[in-house]
Amino acid sequence: MTIPRVALIGADGHGRSHRRTLAPLHAAGALELVAVCDLAPVRDEPDAPLPAGVPVFTDHRELLAAAHPDVAVICTPPHTHLEIATAAARAGADLLLEKPPVTSLAEHTALTEVLAAAGQVCQVGFQALGSAALVELLAAIHAGRLGRITGIGAVGAWQRPDAYYERASWTGRRRVAGRPVIDGALVNPFAHALMQCLAVATAAAAADGAEAVAGGPVRAVAMELERYRARPIEVDDTAVVRLRLDAGPPVVVAATLCGDEFVAGDVIVHGERGRAVLEYPTDRLRLPGDAGPRHVPGRVGLLQNLLANRADGTPLLAPLARTAPFTAVLEAIVAAPDPQPVDPSAVVAHGAGTARVVTVPGIADVLRRAAERLALPGELGVRWAARSPYRAPLADVTANELQLRTEPA
């Protein structure tokens, strides 16, 4: 069997994590890393290996023309994804495209059409969808162990230093060079929490016999959103969204980068017979009747899954089509009004220089209660919260795609 030729576009920054995955697979002969690309210098480093002899490019078009990869791993800023993914697919490469995959439903449809015309596939970098813990949770839902699912909540509380917002020209921004930038708590660092909730909601709707999910994932039809910023940035560093779906229970995702305590990321599934909690970054799961959370080993890597799909047709774990509901929610959040500043009296700064962090005392508890009660901070009586959320319907993915296909060229 021919060894797949793989290229990495976006080899610095988060691309280093892909280099850590690619290097041992290259050494084992499971793939050949034929080229990498980045605007920043790329060097072989202990924490981000670069096999000897791999050429380095600064332009993805030159890389594609010279290296002819079978697979392109794309780890660049989200607002560049469509252009680079389109070029790679048309050059004959299957894609492992970092999340969020695109910036809008229009781009989602455009990329879908490019892939179909080129005969290529796209796996999206929602690696938590490869979790064996998620598989076990979905199986428990299908088996009725939780009873009918009445709601799904997620909570995460992290901290990010000043350096996080200084690492690139697009971080903390709404637009760069006239293009929307996909940044903010829900659509970037906690995108996995939102995607996990949508995956669980699809399973819950299917277990409840909903016809709406017979041909695919659930779709959010309306949202209520509260966005906040404790920092002087253009996007939110704290946000809570409540989604109403076309089938299945309501979903609330509550996240902050100003946490006063660390919450890795819990997906809380409320059922009539009990409750389950999945800590999705660590694959720790607690089902009704368990004495406590337990680690469920066995996470399938998305690159390995993509290579298996190429070899024998193994189904993709995170195909582009599965992420369409996520893109619809992302589009609505990005289009929402500017985030509300948190009252300065509720904000505390720690440290100095680029290591300085900003926290909101008590915020982890607020967001935990939001996920537990499927509520918004404004409904919980939080002093700094908005009096009313931003409400909006979400675009119909099917209608959106149909409209784009029938528009004249």
Same domain, 16 and 89: yes
Q: Is residue 303 part of a domain?
A: no
Is the residue at 360 inside a domain?
yes
One domain, residues 143 and 99: no
| Residue 179: inside a domain | yes
> Does residue 348 belong to any structural domain of this protein?
yes
Q: Supply the pLDDT for residue 403.
A: 41
Are 340 and 239 in the same domain?
A: yes
In a domain, 226, yes or no: yes
- Asked if residue 244 and residue 100 are part of one domain, the reply reads no
Domain CATH code at residue 252:
3.30.360.10
Final residue before a domain boundary, out of 127, 157, 192:
127
Cα(69)–Cα(352) distance, rounded to whole angstroms?
Answer: 45
CA 196 to chain CA mean position, Å: 9
The 3-state secondary structure of 237-268, one letter per residue: CEEEEEEEECCCCCEEEEEECEEEEEEEEEEE
CATH number (domain holding residue 112) = 3.40.50.720
| Pairwise CA distance, residues 73 & 99, whole Å | 12
**313 is a domain residue:** no
The answer on 138 and 122 residing in a single domain is no
- 363 and 399 fall within a common domain: yes
Residue 152 lies in a domain: yes
Task: Provide the domain count of the chain.
Answer: 2
Give which of 69, 4, 67, 68 is closest to 30, Cα–Cα: 4
| Residue 76 one-letter amino acid | T
Same domain assignment for residues 16 and 151: no
Neighbouring CB atoms inside 10 A of 250's CB total 17
Q: Say yes or no: 278 and 180 in one domain.
A: yes
Question: 334: left (phi > 0), else alpha (psi -120 to 50), else beta?
Answer: alpha
Point out the domain boundary residue: 58, 93, 127: 127
Residues 169, 88 share a domain = no
Predicted local distance difference test score (pLDDT) of residue 211:
61
Q: Are residues 86 and 142 in the same domain?
A: no
- Confirm if 112 and 101 have CB atoms less than 8 A apart: no
Q: Is residue 308 part of a domain?
A: no
Which residues span the domain enclosing 350? 131-296+320-406
Residue 20, Cβ neighbours under 10 Å: how many?
A: 12
Q: Say whether both 102 and 167 belong to one domain.
A: no
pLDDT of residue 209: 81
* Strand bridging mode 71-74 / 5-9: parallel
Encode the chain (409 residues) as per-residue pLDDT tens digits. 699 999 999 999 999 999 999 999 999 999 999 999 999 999 889 989 999 999 999 999 999 999 999 999 999 999 999 999 999 999 999 999 999 999 999 999 999 999 999 999 999 999 999 999 999 999 999 999 999 999 999 999 999 999 999 988 889 998 888 888 889 999 999 999 999 999 999 999 999 887 655 557 899 999 999 999 999 999 999 999 999 999 989 999 999 999 999 999 999 999 999 999 999 999 999 999 999 999 999 999 999 999 999 999 999 999 999 999 999 999 999 999 999 999 999 999 999 999 999 999 999 999 999 999 999 999 999 999 999 999 999 987 655 543 433 322 2
For residue 145, the 8-state DSSP code is T
- My answer on whether 90 and 200 are in the same domain is no
In three-state secondary structure terms, 150 is strand
Q: How many residues would you count in the chain?
A: 409
Residue 128 near residue 280, CB atoms below 8 Å? yes
Cα-to-chain-centroid distance, residue 394: 18
Task: Please check whether residue 389 is in contact with residue 378, taking contact to mean a CB–CB distance below 8 angstroms.
Answer: yes
Last residue in a domain, options 127, 148, 180: 127
The Cα 203–Cα 245 span in angstroms is: 13
Q: How far apart are CA 365 and CA 263, in angstroms?
A: 10
Q: Which amino acid is at 101?
A: P
